[in-house]
Structure 1
Amino acid sequence: MPMNSEFTCAFCGEPNPTFVDFSAGSEQSYIEDCQVCCRPNILYVRIDEDTLEVEIDTDYDG
């Protein structure tokens, strides 16, 4: 079940929409390019299993 969410680019600071797939577990990490500056971001996703609240931290890739 994917859910709309948002992350802030670790390079340029711009907000980016993303989809979080709940079926991939409560802790995930994957790389997604910024839609503004096109640089890769490592997304660290945590999902609260009780409230389904999503928290996303970003880091540089490279």
Structure 2
Amino acid sequence: MEFLQENVVSCPYCGESIEVLIDHQEAGQQYIEDCQVCCQPIVFSVTLDMEGHLSVSVHTENEAY
């Protein structure tokens, strides 16, 4: 099993595409990381589906999810 997966997400603030490395051990967790372009705090939500594929969604700090 590969432990790091490269994903491309769009910053919910400035819309820039950002490459991030996601660890499989982060599945089921949320964490905050600053955008590399606009420096705003992005909330990352990492999930793992039944087949073992990682999924990443991003939100602003003020969004309800």
TM-score (norm. length: structure 1): 0.75
More strand by share: 1
Shift of 1:49: 3.7
Change beyond 3 A, Cα 1:49–1:2:
farther
TM-score (norm. length: structure 2): 0.72
RMSD: 1.8
Candidates 5, 11, 23, aligned match of 2:7: 5
Q: Number of residue pairs matched?
A: 60
Choose 35-44 or 49-58, whichever is displaced more: 49-58
**Segments of 4+ moved more than 6 angstroms:** none
Give the percent of matched residue pairs that are identical in Structure 1 and Structure 2: 30
**Which ranges of structure 2 fall in alignment gaps of 5 or more residues?**
none
